[in-house]
């Protein structure tokens, strides 16, 4: 099993990053959003990987964080979702957005991923609702998070997201709006109501 590859970014295609390590160039399939965040050619990086072995091929799938890799591993246990399907879901939704969509039963958010229909989304929610935990949302370590931990309490963020969902907004877009609001106000300790008002403006 190849747990991760650390090396130099040698190239990027529409679907893959090419990482040179130990004189070998590894072609690694990655979510589109991860490909967009890669450093410049020639820079060093670490990719968390999953090796998919088939009769006719060996494929590497990679992610910028270990958390994404763990969620990917869960996704491919769902009947009807293979590695390419899991990659497509994590291109459309971040790991945290997927967690919240599963716990909120948000079929619409999950079907936004390419190739994922309503029945597959419903099966995904049923299979993973007991495996994805609420406390995992917005509690990533600083090197694996978009937000600085401790800036705003996780309970406050969760309350704001749930309020947006209760107003009829999708779970994934609600989580994204709250995270953006927190990121833009890192120096200010916002309460749930203030955070909700800022996030609402982003939804309009």
Looking at per-residue confidence, does 138 or 86 come out higher? 86
Q: What domains, with CATH codes, occur in the chain?
A: 4-64 (2.40.50.140), 66-137 (1.10.150.20), 142-204 (1.10.8)
- What pLDDT digit, counting tens, does each position of 91-119 carry? 999 888 898 888 888 898 899 998 899 99
Strand partners, 48: 4, 63
Structure confidence at residue 30 (pLDDT): 96
C-alpha neighbours within 13 Å on the C-beta side of residue 3: 2
Residue 144 reports pLDDT greater than 70: no
Helices (runs of H) and strands (runs of E) counted in the chain: 9, 5
Averaged pLDDT for residues 170-192: 80
- What pLDDT digit, counting tens, does each position of 14-41 carry? 999 999 999 999 999 999 989 999 999 9
- What pLDDT digit, counting tens, does each position of 51-78 carry? 999 888 899 999 999 999 999 999 999 9
């Amino acid at each position: 099993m190849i747990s991760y590859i650390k090396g130099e970014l040698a190239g990027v295609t529409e679907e893959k990053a090419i990482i040179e390590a130990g004189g070998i160039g590894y072609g690694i399939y990655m979510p589109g959003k991860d490909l967009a965040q890669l450093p410049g050619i020639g820079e060093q990086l670490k990719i968390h990987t999953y090796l998919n072995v088939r009769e006719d091929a060996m494929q590497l799938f990679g992610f910028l964080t270990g958390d994404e890799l763990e969620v990917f591993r869960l996704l491919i246990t769902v009947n009807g979702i293979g590695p390419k399907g899991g990659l497509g879901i994590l291109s459309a939704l971040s790991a945290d957005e997927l967690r919240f969509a599963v716990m909120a039963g948000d079929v619409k958010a999950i079907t936004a991923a390419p190739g994922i229909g309503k029945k597959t989304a419903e099966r995904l929610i049923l299979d993973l609702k007991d495996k994805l935990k609420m406390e995992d949302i917005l509690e990533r370590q600083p090197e694996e998070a978009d937000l600085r931990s401790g800036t705003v309490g996780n309970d406050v963020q969760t309350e704001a997201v749930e309020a947006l969902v209760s107003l009829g907004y999708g779970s994934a877009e609600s989580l994204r709006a709250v995270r953006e609001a927190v990121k833009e106000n890192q120096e200010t300790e916002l309460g749930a109501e203030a955070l909700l008002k800022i996030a609402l403006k982003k939804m309009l």
